[in-house]
Amino acid sequence: MSDFLENEEFDEATVSMTLDDGTELECDVVAIFPVGDRDYIALLPNKPVEGYDENEVFLYRYTELEGDNIDLAQIETEEEYEAVADAFDELLDEEEFNELSGEE
């Protein structure tokens, strides 16, 4: 799935998740994007999370299941995380460029 950021589907899309400490957290979907042969999701918490910067985005492996269900999985290695973070940064740079150039 290569749609991201400007896609109207994400305008109000949220994901509920449970953190390792049992805290329930609601997050806005920022982007769903491919890296290699896997899809990843970028999530922005709706409220501050202790130990994280206010605008820190969470990155996870993303798989669509049957129905409207999804599966989020931890990124397993530092190398995989770096590749995903770099791809997400490129998406943000592209979106910023599109906004500056007036593209919609």
Instruction: Give the C-alpha separation, 3 to 17, whole Å.
Output: 22
**What angle is formed at CA 1 by the lines to CA 16 and CA 68, rounded to 5 degrees?**
40
Question: For residue range 23-59, what is the model confidence (pLDDT) as tens digits?
Answer: 888 999 999 999 999 999 999 999 888 888 888 899 9
Q: Give residue 2's pLDDT.
A: 35
Instruction: Give me the chain's average pLDDT, please.
Output: 83
What pLDDT score does 52 carry? 80
Q: How far is CA 29 from the centre of its chain?
A: 6
58-64 vs 24-35, strand pairing mode: unpaired
Tokens, residue 98: 């599109």
